[in-house]
Amino acid sequence: MKEIIAYFSMEIGLGAEVPTYSGGLGILAGDTLRAAADLGAPVVAVTLLNRKGYFHQTLTLDGTQEERPVLWEPSRHLQELPQRVAVEVFGRRVLLRLWTFEVLGIGGRSVPVYFLDSNLPENDHKDQGLTDHLYGGDAHYRLSQEIILGIGGVRALKALGYHQVRRYHMNEGHSSLLTLELLADRMRSAGRHYVTADDERTIRRQCVFTTHTPVEAGHDQFDWAVAAAVIARMELDSIKDKLCHQDRLNMTHLALHFSGYTNGVSKKHGEVSRMLLNRSNIDAITNGVHAATWVADSMQRVFDQYCPGWRQDNMLLRRQVLDIAAQEIWKAHLETKRHLLSLVEERADVKLDERIFTIGFARRSTAYKRNDLVFDDLDALKRIAQKAGAFQLVFAGKAHPRDEAGKQMIRRVIEAMGRLKGDLRAVYLPNYDIALGKAITAGCDLWLNNPQPPLEASGTSGMKAALNGVPSLSTLDGWWLEGCFEGLTGWAIGSGEATSDHETERARDAASLYQKLEKVIIPAFYENGGRKYWNVMRQAIAINGSYFNAQRMLQEYVAKAYFCEAPDAPQAPQAIRSIKTPDPRMLSRSLSN
């Protein structure tokens, strides 16, 4: 059997009907696999079944988020396999069943995804639910899931007959326990009870790691004592002095320690990660989205006509889109916009006007993304609508069930929308998922994004928008530092320069947002029949759509992480320190330029 790349991810977004993802990380994983299938790359993926999905969001009138499990029937979408593997959790044996799904590429090749599922009658009752909830439960639950994903995943690949794994790719630290299983294998076959330097070197040649966020909460840590009790593996004890920091086991440090190649997900995030994780050798591969998945049907028809072959080679969009009459782009966009507006009417019973400038914002509701920023000054919004031209707002986004601040922010957004009634139309669509994500990124006229720099590692929804000819208005963070050409592909909020404190920065960003809308963007949309705006739309596709796609991203992974020679000189172990969400004041924009 040929050599494979084994891609491990706690969540994978395969489609709205397989609800095993929560957001950006899972969708990126899905897009990566779709690009791998297109390219015919020998990738296989491992994830958890997440039998109860993430959650279905409904909103009460005052904006309170209500959550219920998404019941889906795995057997309708996946195929069960006969193999079984077992892992030890808390000293109990947990048997896992396996399911598979084929991600089909445009050339007819495919990439298999293997789902691990603990729902078997042989298992202790509570263990049967271990693969039910994505990011649910307490630390024990999470750790148990990570044992299943990391250790169970390696065993599953073996049981499935994959004996030659060229690289294990840890998509975020959730799967980093896989390194312990690889160590154990080596120790077992050598009949040793201790880890040698050569073991560690060998594992490093096999493993690559992608870190996805500078936010502390994204780096799982467990009390060492708890981890040791749950995992109960001698490999863990033998590396304790190298990995244990303040009596915690940090999954990011574990992944870093055993990876020969590590990357962040935008140039800026690479730099931030080098500081945050105290390592000089963290590279950057900027994210991308799967073009054929995210481009709306009407725009696909235009691309098919003018850029035949664009699905096989996204780079074709770079030159050929500029030859399309801007009005053609606009006509295709208008069709997509109508689709979004009909969805708004159907789901929220709000009638929006297709002639009016429409601003979209859909994002997980969490503090650093500042979902409510545009509502900081409602009078300013009303004034802009009167003076510069009418606009309407379409919002969406879930808050993690335990993120109270995020839930509060949804309430604030909905309350502000209520207060704008009569002056401008605004709507919050519940249950942001892949299908809604596609409709909203393609159907708005402007994609708004205003995270607090430098906390957005990359962001990908603006890339989906760009591929559909929708320019961004965004703070200079993540991918936008690479994709923003002012007035050509979209516009920047603020200068990216850090100020003294969050409050000042927020006020300054809000002012900049209002100023750009009023003086630059809305006039471009309405003046001269919108021709200036159409040009920006076309350039967003040509300049950004041709680059910020999963095809280019995957080719970078192939070249830098999968098929290059493994580094001979392993990463020198460096001092372990706590991972703390970076203080924006320490990071000026000059870092990235």
Residues that bind ligand PLP in the complex, under the rule CB under 6 A: 23-24, 27, 363, 432-434, 437, 459-461, 464
Q: How far is the CB of 431 from ligand PLP (least distance, A)?
A: 10
Question: Do residues 548 and 472 touch, judged by C-beta distance below 8 A?
Answer: no
Instruction: Specify the residue, 235 or 477, whose C-beta has the smaller distance to ligand PLP.
Output: 477
Instruction: Specify the residue, 96 or 340, whose C-beta has the smaller distance to ligand PLP.
Output: 340
In angstroms, the first-to-last Cα distance of the chain is: 45
| Cross-strand bridge partners of residue 113 | 45, 101
> What does the alpha-carbon distance between residue 566 and residue 197 come to, in Å, rounded to a whole number?
16
Instruction: Specify the residue, 461 or 539, whose C-beta has the smaller distance to ligand PLP.
Output: 461
Q: How far is the CB of 11 from ligand PLP (least distance, A)?
A: 11
Q: How far is the CB of 461 from ligand PLP (least distance, A)?
A: 3
> What does the alpha-carbon distance between residue 186 and residue 200 come to, in Å, rounded to a whole number?
10
Q: How far is the CB of 432 from ligand PLP (least distance, A)?
A: 5
Q: From the CB of residue 18, how many other CB atoms can be counted at a distance below 10 Å?
A: 22
> What does the alpha-carbon distance between residue 480 and residue 371 come to, in Å, rounded to a whole number?
17
In the chain, the largest separation of any two C-alpha atoms, in whole Å, equals: 78
Q: How far is the CB of 1 from ligand PLP (least distance, A)?
A: 34
> What does the alpha-carbon distance between residue 311 and residue 423 come to, in Å, rounded to a whole number?
43
> What does the alpha-carbon distance between residue 544 and residue 470 come to, in Å, rounded to a whole number?
11
Q: From the CB of residue 191, how many other CB atoms can be counted at a distance below 10 Å?
A: 6
CA dihedral 31, 37, 43, 47 (to 10 degrees): 50
Q: How far is the CB of 26 from ligand PLP (least distance, A)?
A: 8
C-alpha closest to that of 434 among 333, 289, 575: 289
Half-sphere exposure for 404 (CA within 13 Å, toward CB): 0
Instruction: Specify the residue, 23 or 490, whose C-beta has the smaller distance to ligand PLP.
Output: 23
Instruction: Specify the residue, 549 or 571, whose C-beta has the smaller distance to ligand PLP.
Output: 549
Q: How far is the CB of 16 from ligand PLP (least distance, A)?
A: 9
Q: How far is the CB of 23 from ligand PLP (least distance, A)?
A: 4
Instruction: Specify the residue, 30 or 42, whose C-beta has the smaller distance to ligand PLP.
Output: 30
Instruction: Specify the residue, 184 or 455, whose C-beta has the smaller distance to ligand PLP.
Output: 455
In degrees rounded to 5, what are phi and psi of residue 420? -85, -10
> What does the alpha-carbon distance between residue 113 and residue 551 come to, in Å, rounded to a whole number?
19
Instruction: Take residue 67 and report the two structure tokens written for it.
Output: 């959550």
> What does the alpha-carbon distance between residue 72 and residue 68 come to, in Å, rounded to a whole number?
12
Q: How far is the CB of 344 from ligand PLP (least distance, A)?
A: 17
| DSSP codes of every residue in 500-544 | S-HHHHHHHHHHHHHHIIIIIIHHHHHGGGGHHHHHHHHHIIIII
Instruction: Specify the residue, 261 or 395, whose C-beta has the smaller distance to ligand PLP.
Output: 395
Instruction: Specify the residue, 434 or 522, whose C-beta has the smaller distance to ligand PLP.
Output: 434
Instruction: Specify the residue, 385 or 413, whose C-beta has the smaller distance to ligand PLP.
Output: 413
Q: From the CB of residue 69, how many other CB atoms can be counted at a distance below 10 Å?
A: 15
Shortest-Cβ-distance residue relative to ligand PLP? 437
> What does the alpha-carbon distance between residue 480 and residue 402 come to, in Å, rounded to a whole number?
29
Q: How far is the CB of 457 from ligand PLP (least distance, A)?
A: 8
Q: How far is the CB of 15 from ligand PLP (least distance, A)?
A: 11
Instruction: Specify the residue, 153 or 478, whose C-beta has the smaller distance to ligand PLP.
Output: 478
Sequence-ordered list of residues with C-beta below 8 angstroms from that of 459, at least 6 positions apart, any chain: 24, 287, 449, 451, 474, 477, 478, 479, 480
What pairing do the DSSP bridges indicate for beta strands 357-362 and 446-449? parallel
Instruction: Specify the residue, 156 or 410, whose C-beta has the smaller distance to ligand PLP.
Output: 410
> What does the alpha-carbon distance between residue 200 and residue 271 come to, in Å, rounded to a whole number?
26
The H or E element spanning position 116 is strand 110-117
Instruction: Specify the residue, 434 or 587, whose C-beta has the smaller distance to ligand PLP.
Output: 434
Q: How far is the CB of 447 from ligand PLP (least distance, A)?
A: 9
CA dist 210 → 155, 167, 260, 394 (Å): 22, 13, 11, 32
Edge-to-edge strand list for the sheet holding 426-429: 426-429, 391-396, 357-362, 446-449, 472-475, 490-493
Q: How far is the CB of 272 from ligand PLP (least distance, A)?
A: 16
